[in-house]
Structure 1
Amino acid sequence: MLRPIKKTCFSLLIIFLPLCGNSQGVQLDSLRNELEGHTLQDTIRAGLLIEIAGEMTYSSPNEAFPYVKEAIAISEKTNWIKGEALAHRQKGNLYYVLGDNLNALDAYQKALVLSQKMVNKQLESSLLGNIGNIHADLKEYDKALTNYRAYLSTAQSLNNRPDEIKALSNIAIVYNDTENFEEGVAYLEKALALAKLEENNLFIAAITNNLALAYKKLGQNEKALAHYQEAADLAQQIGNKYIEASALNSIGKINVLLNNYGMAETNARQALSLSKEIGAVEWESDSWEVLSQVFENNGNMAEALDAYKEHVQLRDSVLNEEKRSELTRKEMQFQMERQQAVALEEIKRQELVKNGYLLGAILLALISILGYFLYKRRRDALEKRKVAEFNAKVAETELKALRSQMNPHFIFNSLNSISDFISKKDIQQADDYLVKFSKLTRSILENSEKKWITLEEDLELMELYMQIEALRLENKLNYRISIDESVEPENTLVPPLLLQPFIENSIWHGIAPKQGDGQIDLLIKKDDNMLEYIVEDNGVGRSATNTKAKRKGSFGVKITSNRIDIINHLKNTNGSINLLDKTEGLRVEIRLPLELQF
């Protein structure tokens, strides 16, 4: 199976199933008519059910599940192992198209066990290719390559050209994902030559598009442009709007690099129309980005800013989905390892039952040893589960912390403020705001992967954030940062942006609704082996804050509390958060273990 369309990597191929087009509908109708005439619950009906589910994979995957379910039931009842394996594989294909890799992996593994049971090497190797796709999605490239190479070897030995195309293409995609473009191009060229021999236009268009992307990464823009145009023309001929929209956006980007702005605008508008038609948010975002660059070059700054806003809004929705998928990916890794262990245990259990009739007497003598082994395995499993749960909590907390740092509402409001300054012709103020905003965004992204940064760097980020908010509030916000002389900011390490949720709450829910100017005081001091933050504001306080604001505030407190719990677990310390209501405003006290760089 070829990996499905994923814009975030080099893959722009589809699962190899019956070809799309007018013939697909005719074939599906024919199969359904044949199924209606064959009501006997036998292997013929099971085979028809699997074929129908395969034809429906792209058009209506959710509606195909009942066919697969019936095929599995018939195969189990008639003891048709191959049919059961093929049905589970088709079930995995449906889940994979729907983006449910966890259930896809479960179905593929069941099919793999059955293929090994009946010693079907061709089916086994193709299933290894399916599982290789999951590894590639998890960025476990070594495991993916191992599976793809086994798939390729079997396809070549059996002279199975379609399977060879799939294996070559997916190996190329892994090389391109890991920036080994020379190897990737070589494998794509081999796959393209075979696809042309097969006269499979869908494969030709997708592989050509991947080749263009590789050439662009290699800096060969003219060659990339020619391949993109070829892919776009062929995709238009076969009615594949996904590949056509992707190729047109890429052509527009290259035309921007070549200063062909008129052509770039035409390409971007065509891609935008197609992207809206098929609901491809990622490519719609790319189209707006190209248009923003074209408008900026033509001096249409207002239109450029509007286009860039559209790009940011659509991009952020995609980024948020990608960041949410990070935690799912980590959970899937744990689930995959657990499922593999279960599959191995099932094989061992079957072997034990088979050999038990011959070794019953010896087995009785080994009961005590086996009991100890089972106890030890259970104990180790419980320990691994605790570690996995803790790692999941770490991943979830890091993800939520990053979301809170890059709040889409903050970005959108900042862009609106810049637009407002431009409309008022306050170019200097707009420029100052934009410089601070870009510096803050870049710094947050640079520090998002770091566990610890220096206190000096963290305070610079917080001060930059408060400066931006002060500009937005028209200097209604004042702040003061005090550092005890016993603290060395350049040598003290702290988790990045730990204070950001509290300062944000003080500004948005304390000072913004307040009549008159607001003040935020930040004090950092040392208490034995602990570092203490104190954040005070003179806002309206929690009692005057609405319920929705309180919920958002508690969300920020929960994220920071989880981060401190993780630090306490790792450092064996007693860090804490304490919120104190004042007559006017709120006081937050945060204690962390003192961590020094040198």
Structure 2
Amino acid sequence: MHQPNKIAFFLFFILLIPFGVQAQGHEVDSLKNELKGHSTMDTIRAGLLIELANKLTYSDPNEAIPLMEEAISISKKTDWTLGEALSHRQMGNLHYVLGDNIKALDEYQKALALSHKITDRQLQSSLLSNIGNIHADLKEYDLALENYHSYLTTSQEMGNRADEIKALSNIAIIYNDTERFEKGVSYLEKALSLSKIEENDLFIAAITNNLALAYKKLDENEKALSLYLEAAELAEQMNNKYIEASALNSIGKIYLLFNDYDLAETNANKALALSKEIDAVEWQSDSWEVLSEVYEHNRKLPEALDAFKKHVQLRDSVVNEEKKSELTRKEMQFKMERQQAVAQEEIKRQQLVKNGYLIGAILLLIFSIMGYLLYKRRRDALEKRKLAEFNAKVAETELKALRSQMNPHFIFNSLNSISDFISKNDIEQADDYLVKFSKLTRSILENSEKKWITLEEDIELMKLYMQIEGLRFDNKLKYHVSMDNSLEPDNVLVPPLILQPFIENSIWHGIAPKKGGGNIDIRIAKDGTMLKYIVEDDGVGRSVQNREEKKTKDSYGIKITSSRIDIINHLKNTKGSIELMDKAEGFRVEIKLPLELQF
């Protein structure tokens, strides 16, 4: 059984799901009965274990893992190399389904090494595809392409057209993911041509859907629409709701581009119904996004707001999963590098021991060399560990910074404020708020992967954030931003929204409790080789009684910003800092960052 291919989901979905739950259950029960009747530890039992684990891959992978451990043990004792290779491949499939790509990759590589011993090209071909999928998940696109091209060559040499189509499609999707759409289109066209020769409707529908996406990326919307309509029709004929839902959402988005809102709404509603049936969260989010734009165009503002809320909720769950996957990917890279370093050091150690036996006459010299190498190995290992810990801290801090900027309370408070304006029939205010809120969330998401943006962009984001909060507080909030004339805001680079936690604290803990409103003064100045921010408010400040409570509330945002500055200090070898000061009336924060110029 081939491992599931996450990036070419539509193409191989039918290979992953059992064709009948009842029939599948009967097969599992039948295999379990056969195992009970065959307790001899031979190749027959090992084969039954592999087949049963295959059937349990998607229904109960944890139950299948001990079965594979037993199959591996039996295969080794009976010198059944093929069985051992198949067992390791199936173990890799189980770990992949459970989301442990490190263990999956290790099992696939063991299986590949065994397949070379017995010259099983079909097995080698499937393992190359599996390993390519892991590298694609890790965004190691060059390694993924290398394995997929080997998979393609092997499939062509063996005359296995189904595998050839899969290999062509996987290569195309890698090129599309890396925005090399012309190459992606050429490989998809080849795959589509072979699928039509094979008369495989599932392959044709899936490849047509992916081909439409590539043409859309190339701004050939008429061509893309024609292909999406073709894919949706084929999927409907086959009752494949996965491909059909995806294609219908894409059709709706293209009709929005053509300003045909009726057809956009029709396709989005149909896609939404299908997505709910198959519990596809990301596609539900896409459907609500299309419907939100349709309702807004038709001036159905309450429905537009409700659709937008649902889109945001579902999209945020997808974004969180992507961020978790990104952290997992970085952790996996670190573990793989550490395993490689340990393996290399072990080889060096064994070589040193061997040399020690060979040149015993100069034992003292060998001990001296070994001592030095052990010291160097320890030093290098510590340096690698520190580097890996630092990289993990960078990834964690980036994710926490994004989460703090996209605070769920802020998002839902803002949406509720828009809803309140609409309920009061203050359409103009609701529209103004919605435009500002949409612009802010879009800018935050666009900048989430950027380490630096221009000071000019950052100031605009801060102003937009304060304008939104000002609307929520009935314009109690006043603010002023000033800057040294010596600074060129379009040339100075700063980390995105570094001041946001402190501005938020000033608003919520300083100005909100104060009667009559208050002011926030933001000053930006050049201080030698450093850029100095000052955030000052005239709010209620921190009294002796509430200072400890406020310290606890503020600690999360301050901790994230402090971590971001620590990372910058480490990378730039600078002395950036945060200083918090109580005033007689209000609060003051001073932040220093290295002055980074674009040109």
Higher deviation after alignment, 494-503 or 212-221? 212-221
Q: Which amino acid aligns with 2:472?
A: R
* Distance in 1 separating the partners of 2:393 and 2:275: 37
C-alpha distance in 2 between matches for 1:288 and 1:445: 19
Q: Following TM superposition, by how much is the alpha carbon of 1:595 offset from its aligned partner in structure 2, in angstroms?
A: 4.3
The change in CA–CA distance for 1:380 and 1:572 in structure 2 (over 3 A counts) is: same
Q: Deviations over 1:481-507 (max 9, x none)?
A: 344667665665433321111111221
Tell me the alpha carbon deviations over residues 308-339 of structure 1, each in whole angstroms, 9 at most, x when there is no partner: 22112211221222233323222222223344
Superposed displacement of residue 268, structure 1:
2.0
**1:63, distance to aligned residue in structure 2 (A):** 3.8
User: Separation in 1 of the partners of 2:234 and 2:31?
Assistant: 29
Q: Which residue of 2 aligns with 1:21?
A: 19
Matched residue type, 1:20: P
Relative distance call for 1:130 and 1:62 in structure 2 (3 A) is: same
Which amino acid counterpart does residue 401 of structure 1 have in structure 2? A
In structure 1, what is the equivalent of residue 556 of structure 2?
555
Q: Does 1:244 align with 2:248?
A: no
CA distance in 2, matches of 1:197, 1:545: 75
CA-CA distance at 1:229 after TM superposition = 4.3
Shift of 1:32: 3.4
Code of the aligned partner of 1:577: I
| d(CA) in 2 for partners of 1:499, 1:535 | 8
Task: Give yes or no for the alignment of 1:361 onto 2:358.
Answer: yes
Q: 1:595 to 1:198 in 2, by over 3 A?
A: closer
Equivalent residue runs for 1:273-284 within 5 Å: 273-284=273-284
Match of 2:78 in 1: 78
* Structure 1 CA distance for aligned equivalents of residues 56 and 153 of structure 2: 30
Distance 2:201 2:361 in 1: 64
After TM superposition, give the deviation of residue 525 of structure 1 in Å.
4.3
State the SS of the aligned residue for 1:12.
helix
What does 1:347-386 align with in structure 2 at a 5 Å threshold? 361=358, 372-373=372-373, 375-386=375-386
- CA shift, 1:429, in A, is 2.9
Distance 1:32 1:199 in 2: 37
Q: TM-score scaled by structure 1?
A: 0.86
Q: CA, structure 1 residues 88+591, in 2 after alignment: closer, same or farther (shift >3 Å)?
A: same
Query: Structure 2: which amino acid aligns with 1:566?
Result: I
Query: Equivalents in 2 of 1:152, 1:170: separation in Å?
Result: 10
Q: Distance in 2 between matches of 1:591 and 1:38?
A: 73
State the number of aligned residues: 592
Which of 135-144 and 102-111 deviates more? 102-111
* Contact 2:251-2:264 within 8 A present in 1 as well: yes
Relative to 1, partners in 2 of residues 1:210 and 1:449: Cα closer, same or farther, differing over 3 Å? closer
What aligned pairs does 1:463-502 form with structure 2 within 5 A after superposition?
463-483=463-483, 492-502=492-502
Could you tell which deviates more after superposition, 153-162 or 466-475? 153-162
Deviation of 1:73 after TM superposition, in Å, equals 3.3
TM-score scaled by structure 2?
Answer: 0.86
Instruction: Name the CA distance, whole Å, in 1 between partners of 2:200 and 2:51.
Output: 20
SS of the residue corresponding to residue 276 of structure 2 reads helix
CA gap of 1:295–1:554, structure 2 versus 1, over 3 A, is same
- Alignment correspondent of 2:173: 173
1:511 is matched with which residue?
511
CA deviation digits over 1:176-204, x for unaligned, max 9? Answer: 22233343333334434555666655444
Cα distance change, pair 76–412 in 1 and its aligned pair in 2 (3 A): same
- Find the aligned partners of 1:254 and 1:32 in 2 and give their Cα distance: 51
**What is the match of residue 42 of structure 2?**
42
CA distance in 2, matches of 1:386, 1:50: 42
**AA matched with 1:72:** I
Code of the residue aligned with 2:87 in structure 1: it is A
> Which digits, 9 at most, give the CA deviation of each residue in 1:393-451, with x for residues without a partner?
22222222222223343233333333433443434433443443344344444544443
How far apart in 2 are the matches of 1:267 and 1:292? 13
**Structure 2 residue 572 is the aligned partner of structure 1 residue 571:** yes
Give distance in 2, aligned partners of 1:461 and 1:484.
Answer: 19
Distance 1:469 1:403 in 2: 18
| Two-structure CA RMSD over aligned residues (Å) | 3.7
Check conservation: 2:5, 2:12, Cα contact below 8 A: yes
Range with greater deviation from structure 2 (185-194 or 507-516) = 185-194
Say whether the 8 Å CA contact 1:231–1:243 is kept in structure 2: yes
Matching of residue 148 in structure 1 with residue 145 in structure 2: no
Sort the Cα spacing of 1:309 and 1:196 in 2 relative to 1 into closer, same or farther, 3 A: same
Letter of the 2:570 partner, please give it. H
Shift of 1:547: 9.0
CA separation of 1:562/1:172 partners in 2, compared to 1, >3 Å: closer, same or farther?
same
Where do 1:66-215 residues align within 5 Å?
A: 66-116=66-116, 120-195=120-195, 201-215=201-215
| Contact 1:17–1:55 (CA under 8 A) maintained in structure 2 | no
Deviation at 1:466, TM superposition (A): 1.4
SS at match of 1:13: helix
Query: Equivalents in 2 of 1:230, 1:2: separation in Å?
Result: 28
Counterpart-to-counterpart distance in 2, 1:503 and 1:406: 14
Q: CA deviation at 1:475?
A: 1.0
Deviation at 1:74, TM superposition (A): 2.8
- Decide whether aligned partners of structure 1 residues 173 and 552 sit closer, same or farther in structure 2, where only a CA change above 3 A counts: farther
Contact 1:5–1:13 under 8 Å retained in 2:
no
Cα 1:349–1:572, aligned 2, differ >3 Å: closer, same or farther?
Answer: closer
Which stretch of structure 1 is more off in the superposition, 133-142 or 566-575? Answer: 566-575
Once the two structures are superposed, what CA deviation does each residue of 1:58-115 show, in whole Å capped at 9, x if it has no partner? 3443443333233233334434333232222212222323433233223223333443
Unaligned runs of 5+ in 2: none
CA distance 1:522–1:264, change in 2 (3 Å): closer
- Give the conservation status (yes or no) of the 8 Å contact 1:402–1:448: yes
Task: For residue 288 of structure 1, report the CA deviation from its aligned partner.
Answer: 0.8
Q: Counterpart of 2:358 in structure 1: which amino acid? A: A
The offset of 1:136, in angstroms, is 1.4
Any conservation in 1 of the 2:85–2:114 contact (CA below 8 Å)? Answer: yes
Offset from partner CA, 1:217-243 (integer Å, 9 cap, x none): 344545544543454455455554333
1:315 aligned partner: 315
Query: Would the aligned equivalents of 1:533 and 1:591 in 2 still touch at CA under 8 Å?
Result: yes
The correspondence of residues 198-347 of structure 1 with structure 2, limited to 5 A, is 201-221=201-221, 223-236=223-236, 240-340=240-340
Q: Aligned partner of 2:19: which letter?
A: G
- 1:513-592 aligned within 5 A: 513-542=513-542, 551-592=552-593
Q: Structure 2: how far apart are the matches of 1:555 and 1:118? A: 57
Label 1:298 to 1:440 Cα distance change in 2 as closer, same or farther (>3 A). closer
Task: Report the identity percentage.
Answer: 72
Instruction: Tell me if 1:430 matches 2:427.
Output: no
- C-alpha separation between the residues in 2 aligned to 1:485 and 1:120? 72
Q: Which moved more, 1:436-445 or 1:273-282?
A: 436-445
**Any idea what the Cα deviations from partners look like across 1:2-42, whole Å, max 9, x if unmatched?**
75345xxx753337857631365554444334333322222
Q: Is the 8 A contact 2:10 2:242 kept in 1?
A: no
Deviation of the 1:591 alpha carbon: 2.9
Q: Secondary structure at the match of 2:320?
A: helix
Are the equivalent residues in 1 in contact too, given 2:6–2:137 (CA < 8 A)? Answer: no
SS of residue in 2 equivalent to 1:557: helix
- Change in 2 beyond 3 A, CA 1:193/1:382: same
